[in-house]
Homo-oligomer: A and B are copies of this chain.
Amino acid sequence: MNKLEERIIADGIVLEEKILKVNSFLNHQIDVELLDWIGEYLAKQFNNQPIDKILTIEASGIAFATATSYHLNKIPVVFARKGTNKLTGDSYSAEVYSFTKKTTFVINCDAQFICPGEKILIIDDFLADGNAALGLTNLCQQAKAEVVGIGIVIEKGFQPGRSRLEAAGFIVKSVACIANMKNNRIEFK
């Protein structure tokens, strides 16, 4: 097991067979030592190619995106916002269905921050059904930018996120991939 997997076993709380609470070290309180390690790990998965920017979603993706950037020569991070864009200017938007909250929300990004031809690395905290990541790839497609890969902190390997993203042609790397969470026991792939 790697550092994140060990920590999930120690401090993760399985609420149902599909919901994992990591509030005490990733999503509400952040262990910054672990955050830095995660950023370094994700950067290593993608550092063999040119990347112009990292794209994520507010709020819980931000820390992982900047932590990854620290290990990729501090390239810029853009975070898509939830809700419709209330500011002036052109923007891209996409609908995302949230598995955890059972609602659809809109994400948006100012058009000036994702540019045609830019090589974009997408970073997010969780991958379950893949809807958030697909929403982010959708923003990149609208901008005619190229998604060079998708880096995930915790993948729920028993849900279809990875297969949907790979079927769409994207490279997916995760730090921890959970095989199942049956009977409150977490097993990794």
A residues near B (Cβ < 8 Å) are 21, 23-24, 28-33, 35-36, 58-60, 62-63, 66-67, 69-70, 74-79, 81, 87, 109-110, 112-113
In this complex, what residue of B is CB-closest to A78?
B29
Copies of this protein, total: 2
C-alpha gap A70/B67 in the complex (Å) = 10
Assembly CA distance A112 to B25 (angstroms):
12
Do the beta carbons of A36 and B67 come within 8 Å of each other?
no
Nearest CB of chain B from residue A185's CB, rounded to whole Å: 21
Contact in complex: A75, B32 (CB < 8 Å): yes
14 contacts between A and B (CB under 8 A): A28-B110, A28-B113, A29-B76, A29-B78, A29-B113, A30-B77, A32-B66, A32-B70, A32-B75, A63-B63, A63-B77, A66-B66, A66-B67, A70-B70
B66 in contact with A23 (CB, 8 Å): no
Contact of A58 among B36, B59, B78, B110 (CB under 8 A): B59
By beta carbon, the residue of chain B nearest A58 is B59
A36 touches which of B29, B30, B70, B75 (Cβ 8 Å): B70
Q: Is the CB of A79 within 8 A of B59?
A: yes
Contact A29 B77 (CB under 8 A): yes
